[in-house]
Structure 1
Amino acid sequence: MLYARAGLGSFVTVVALAGAGCGDGEGEPAPVETFDGIDVLFVVNDSRAMVPLQERLGEHVAGFLDSLAAAEGALPSLHVGVVSTEVTDSTVPAALCPGRTGGELRSIDCLTDGAFARSADGNYAGALADAAACMMQLGDLGCPFEQPLEAMRRALDGSVPGNDGFLRDDALLAVIFVTDEDDCSAADPYLFSQTTTQYGQLSSYRCFAHGIRCDQPDTGTPGPRTGCVPATDGPLHPVDDYLAFLETRKGGRWRVVVGGLVPPSSPVQVRREAETGLTLLEPLCPSIGPEIG
């Protein structure tokens, strides 16, 4: 989780329902501020084996909205958007995932118009919960190098014209990440090139091997890893860059809450797949689906 902090206590419900939520306990107290609505951005992994988690998420959307309505006495004005974790760079030769550039809100065919659901004018047939659940069914053909943090930034930074109007100045922003793997938001897009050898085998293990530092030097040897923290000199964007982006984009961190349906960060276990010889991480949530390689 990045951080979760809101000006009004009731809005922390957004994070609690997403499966995580806590204050950072540092800095000045958040000012008291009322919001005219909530802009909810779901960042959903669409790579292999994610369909069961997407379906589970869709099944709980109605309860999520009911809790928001109960907290406020009525359902607040909502914008609900969904973006996948797929981000690609067409300038990289032999990129593993040449396709969508990333950050586009994905309405699929769930809305009557626009790229995000709007509760105020009901741009969907039926209930908002049904439309939101529909948008979250992105499938599992996306890139195995997931970049949820970068996808979030592109969805909100104004670079995607189709997303215009989603982010409102007078609304609280809630970002909810739904994924089963580590973030791999790359400062060096060659991390995903099939011809690059400096990062080792072509699998999402590159993201861990070069984006995380543990107490044990990573040689690819199977076994446990302890004391793992983000690398400060690797090919990935620092998480602090995304925290700063959210705070600046909304004009204060009390105007943003962030949560996630994500696996725990430990224990970390490296294994070698017998069939392919690939070095992989042992999945922490095997009931959701097989590990993505």
Structure 2
Amino acid sequence: MRPATRTANTVLTFTVAALLGGCLGHPVKEVVYDKVDIVREPLRLDLNRDVDILFVIDNSGSMAEEQARLARNFPAFIAALDGMRADYRIGVTTTDVAHPGCSSGATPEDGALVLRSCLDAVAQGAFVFNDLDAAYACTEQCKLGPDELRQQPSVYDGELHPWLESIGGQANLAPGVAMADAFACFGPQGIDGCGYESPLEAMRLAITKARGPEGNGFMRDEALLSVVLVTDEADCSSNPAHKDIFTTNTTFQNDVAPQRTSATCWRAGTACSGAGPDFKECHAEDYSADGSPGADDDAVLHPVDRYIDFLAGLRGTSGEPTGQPAGDGGAAARDVLVSLITGVPVGYDRGEAEIEYHAAEPGSEQAINFGIAPGCTNSEDGSNSTAIPPVREREVAEAFAGEDGARNLFSICQDDYSPALEQIARSIEKALAPACAGACVADSDPETELLEPDCLVTAELPDASEVEVPACVRAGDGWAVPADADACFYTLVDPGGRSDFKGDDMTLVPGPDGQAIAACGQDGENLEFKILREGPRRPGIHYSAECVVAQGPESCHVG
């Protein structure tokens, strides 16, 4: 807000619905300010760092190298999450959903979270497809044995769960085991899954199974949900009412193909404009069983709106399956991000290349098997592996790209996924916006270089009682919770590394000229709040902060 100019300093009071781990047992001190006014302004003081990350990984026969690459480059993702001090969970499922085109072979996950060592999967034959033995996709990445991969109880409930998590820096892994090393074993899912990949339906099933009293508990109230789909083919989330398009109905089959292929999925779910072979664009289309467009809910593939509406329904709701928006004091609105590592050209995410849709040469193996020319080809690792350009899953991802509108589709054909994973992590960090003061806070000691704020933070507990949140104590280059408290607050006041102490550095974001600036150093603001806790967050606590603010813009101390 715009700071008010008064004859005396003003106390700015912030109020917020948020979470805190544990109850604080300190009574609220009565604070008296002489000759000041009180102004109430909402502030999200307890920065929510909870992130639930769902990876939906294609486990069909062409995905061995891509799974290995994801595992090999995963340290970049974990480093970014740890750098933003996120309290995160990582769940993994596959694109394998019960499908009429795949009536035999491995049992589909149907959205169930999977936490098994890929070494066990190798022993079970999950890395064999036709004549290809791709055990290397696991064995060259996974270096941990059964004892090292033995899961530890969650800090939330002391139970074992089928996901990886790091809460307050405490992981559900054996001591000394790094999260990225664990993912290198748990991430690769094998290549024995159905070749009619259904990433969108697998995503929906996984989230459905995670929510509500009967769910597995993966999704936490108020946590940001980040979905990452990793696939090299077109989405084939089919409507069971029309399973015959994969058996006896030949409407979407290539006339020259003696066998059924996933090209059926392309023809049954997309439409392209232009005469070809270079199409202007391609988009999702809902076809009826006879090939007529505009079938909506009776389409042979589930409409894309099914998934957009489903994800949109998660926003503004708690983890309960009521679908009703949270009321005052209830769970904060959940944000949803969707990213793809898929068949777009290298550089698409940076605006250096565009998705091109080309018709495959008529009668060619590419046309028979996939129905469209590749969206990208990997020429970096010598494999010349290809991927189908996304349409249905692209439209879902673009609907949940985040407020900055950054491209959230990354090429599965590039040899290094680290930049893509880092960008996905940055999107998560942007969604976890810092808690800014909303005004220019007064400097209680103008003789020092950095701002010295005068703030009081309190917490209202679910029983309506209030307690004071103590200030954190310095510990090396950071902060620590005082011995007699469960949580504390600290303020960030250094916008440009002016002090040697790293614990007061404000969160930086790109400025208009591309240079890094303090996220809370704009529009007359000069202060960022943080809450530090021991243990996980729990819902139902409201916070407020009272700070003395500057008399006017001319007395605002920035930095």
TM superposition score category, shorter chain reference: 0.7 to 0.9
Could you tell me how far 1:52 is from its partner in structure 2? 0.9
Equivalent residue for 1:225? 279
1:178 aligns with 2:186: no
Equivalent residue for 2:356? 266
Could you tell me how far 1:155 is from its partner in structure 2? 0.2
Equivalent residue for 1:50? 63
Distance 1:223 1:85, change over 3 A: same
C-alpha contact (below 8 Å) 2:210/2:217 kept by paired residues: no
Q: Secondary structure at the match of 2:301?
A: coil
1:87 aligns with 2:94: no
Q: 1:122 aligns with which of 151, 162, 171?
A: 171
Could you tell me how far 1:171 is from its partner in structure 2? 1.1
C-alpha contact (below 8 Å) 2:314/2:334 kept by paired residues: no
Structure of higher RCO (CA pairs closer than 8 Å, 6+ residues apart): 1
Could you tell me how far 1:133 is from its partner in structure 2? 2.6
Aligned-partner Cα distance in 2 for 1:124–1:162: 25
Q: Deviations over 1:54-76 (max 9, x none)?
A: 11111221111111232x2x3x2
Q: Secondary structure at the match of 1:79?
A: strand
Structure 1 letter corresponding to 2:200: L
Q: 2:261 aligns with which of 203, 213, 225?
A: 203
Could you tell me how far 1:96 is from its partner in structure 2? 2.3
Q: Deviations over 1:11-40 (max 9, x none)?
A: xxxxxxxxxxxxxxxxxxxx9694241101
C-alpha contact (below 8 Å) 1:104/1:163 kept by paired residues: no
Structure 1: runs of 5+ lacking an equivalent: 1-30
Distance 1:47 1:279, change over 3 A: closer
Aligned-partner Cα distance in 2 for 1:275–1:62: 37
C-alpha contact (below 8 Å) 1:87/1:102 kept by paired residues: yes
What percentage of aligned pairs have identical amino acids? 29
Aligned-partner Cα distance in 1 for 2:245–2:197: 11
C-alpha contact (below 8 Å) 1:191/1:206 kept by paired residues: no
When normalised by structure 1's length, the TM-score is 0.74
C-alpha contact (below 8 Å) 1:186/1:236 kept by paired residues: yes
C-alpha contact (below 8 Å) 2:96/2:109 kept by paired residues: yes
Structure 2: runs of 5+ lacking an equivalent: 1-42, 118-148, 152-159, 255-259, 287-293, 318-332, 345-354, 389-559
Q: Deviations over 1:191-250 (max 9, x none)?
A: 663344333251111111121111258xxxx94433211103342222222122112134
For residues 95-174 of structure 1, the aligned pairs below 5 Å read 95-98=101-104, 99-100=107-108, 102-109=110-117, 112=151, 113-120=160-167, 122-125=171-174, 126-158=177-209, 164-174=216-226
Could you tell me how far 1:267 is from its partner in structure 2? 2.7
In our comparison, the structure showing a higher alpha carbon Rg is 2
Aligned-partner Cα distance in 2 for 1:231–1:267: 15
When normalised by structure 2's length, the TM-score is 0.41
Could you tell me how far 1:154 is from its partner in structure 2? 0.2
Aligned-partner Cα distance in 2 for 1:148–1:62: 24
Aligned-partner Cα distance in 1 for 2:209–2:316: 15
Aligned-partner Cα distance in 1 for 2:387–2:192: 12
C-alpha contact (below 8 Å) 1:145/1:192 kept by paired residues: no
C-alpha contact (below 8 Å) 1:80/1:116 kept by paired residues: yes
Structure 1 letter corresponding to 2:201: E
Could you tell me how far 1:290 is from its partner in structure 2? 4.1
Aligned-partner Cα distance in 2 for 1:276–1:168: 43
For residues 20-99 of structure 1, the aligned pairs below 5 Å read 34-70=47-83, 72=84, 74=85, 76-89=86-99, 95-98=101-104, 99=107
Equivalent residue for 2:448? none
Distance 1:244 1:275, change over 3 A: closer
Equivalent residue for 1:17? none
Aligned-partner Cα distance in 1 for 2:279–2:369: 14
Equivalent residue for 1:11? none
Aligned residues: 252
1:237 aligns with 2:302: yes
